[in-house]
């Protein structure tokens, strides 16, 4: 009975979050953070540093799926914004675009090898492959509309969760030492990766960026006395195209950052 009450309470919290928060806001400047952290001096002190590097940020719903959702949205957004470069084989956008299309097409083999049944992922691959093919004729407003549709938005998140889970399962020997509190990688993935609304930790970020071979730079905002956020890049060793996904991390939450144009 106690477990049921906890589940019911969690469901009510998620429902409230869905009612109050959109999947994504429009891009906004950092003045809203100044208001949000008016009584938090350590966070307030780091905002000017963010303003010096980034023109703004896009909030995403704080439902435990924020990293996965922000990662795939930013990937698609940057490809759409730079679609004029997609036919140039020397462009990093073209190189990422070609690579990610192939990775999605081939991901059924990886998911199958990790133990996922085709019925669980085939529709995801079909939808995302189709969305990738449409990028040359897609506008940002259409991408934003897609993420207002819960079914489409959740498909993106569930697919990326499956990819992260498959990567960790297939590299269990390498990562099994990092799943404190769980007997093995499979148990960790069953509890922390596969279910929706489970927050993303550093291990999942490593797996995501390694699996897709896309670089992510994350500015960590914490309560230390520095006036700068802490920048971390994933994967730790990256030799691919000059393409980056930029995110802001605040305790328990990720949003998308937009670098100043040079």
In whole angstroms, give the CA distance from residue 255 to residue 221: 12
Active site residue 253: yes
Say how far apart CA 67 and CA 63 lie, in whole Å.
Answer: 10
Asked if 135 contacts 150 with a C-beta cutoff of 8 angstroms, the reply is no
Q: Output the DSSP codes for 122-150.
A: HHHHHHHHHHHHTGGG--HHHHHHHTTSH
pLDDT of res. 20: 74
pLDDT score, position 14: 58
Residue 135 binned pLDDT confidence (cut-offs 50, 70, 90): very high
Q: Kind and range of the H or E element at 243?
A: none
Whether 63 is catalytic is yes
Tell me the sheet residues that pair with 203.
none
Q: Give a yes or no: residue 19 inside a domain.
A: no
- Asked if 189 is an active-site residue, the reply is no
Residue 5 belongs to some domain of the structure: no
Q: How many separate domains does the chain show?
A: 1
**Does 164 or 7 have the greater pLDDT score?**
164
Catalytic residue, chosen from 66, 200, 246, 255, is: 66
- Could you tell me if 30 and 57 are in contact, meaning their C-beta atoms sit under 8 angstroms apart? yes
The percent of the chain in helix, strand and coil, each rounded to the nearest 5, is 60, 15, 30
Q: Which of 63, 146, 200, 255 is catalytic?
A: 63
Determine the structural domain holding residue 137 and report its residue range.
31-259
Which CATH number characterizes residue 87's domain? 1.20.1300.20
Strand order, beta sheet including 230-234: 54-58, 253-259, 244-250, 215-220, 230-234
Residue 167 falls inside a structural domain: yes
- Asked if the structure places residue 18 within a domain, the reply is no
Question: Does residue 71 sit within a domain?
Answer: yes
pTM (two decimals): 0.93
Check if the beta carbon of residue 259 is closer than 8 Å to that of residue 56. Answer: no
Tell whether the model's pLDDT for residue 1 goes beyond 90.
no
Q: Which of 189, 200, 253, 255 is catalytic?
A: 253
Q: Give the integer Cα–Cα distance in Å for 91 and 98.
A: 11
Specify the length of the chain in residues. 262
| 138 in any annotated domain | yes
Residue pLDDT, tens place only, 169-227: 999 999 999 999 999 999 999 999 999 999 999 999 999 999 999 999 999 999 999 99
């Amino acid at each position: 009975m106690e477990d049921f009450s906890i589940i019911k309470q969690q469901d009510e919290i998620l429902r409230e979050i869905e009612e109050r928060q959109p999947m994504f806001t429009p891009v906004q400047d950092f003045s809203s953070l100044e208001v949000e952290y008016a009584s938090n001096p350590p966070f307030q002190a780091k905002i000017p540093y963010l303003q010096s590097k980034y023109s703004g940020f896009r909030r995403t719903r704080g439902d435990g799926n924020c990293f996965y959702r922000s990662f795939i949205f930013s990937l698609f957004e940057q490809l759409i914004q730079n679609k004029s470069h997609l036919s140039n084989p020397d462009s990093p956008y073209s190189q990422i675009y070609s690579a990610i299309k192939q990775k999605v097409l081939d991901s059924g083999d990886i998911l199958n090898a990790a133990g996922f049944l085709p019925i669980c992922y085939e529709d995801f691959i079909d939808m995302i492959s189709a969305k990738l093919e449409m990028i040359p004729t897609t506008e940002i407003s259409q991408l934003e509309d897609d993420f207002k549709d819960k079914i489409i938005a959740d498909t993106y998140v569930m697919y990326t969760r499956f990819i992260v889970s498959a990567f960790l399962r297939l590299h269990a020997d390498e990562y099994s030492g990092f799943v404190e509190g769980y007997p093995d990688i499979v148990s960790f993935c069953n509890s922390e990766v596969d279910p929706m609304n489970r927050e993303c930790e550093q291990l999942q970020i490593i797996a995501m960026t390694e699996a897709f071979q896309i670089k992510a730079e994350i500015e960590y905002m914490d309560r230390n006395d520095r006036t700068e956020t802490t920048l971390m890049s994933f994967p730790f060793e990256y030799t691919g195209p000059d393409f980056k996904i930029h995110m802001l991390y605040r305790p328990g939450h990720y949003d998308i950052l937009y670098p100043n144009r040079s």
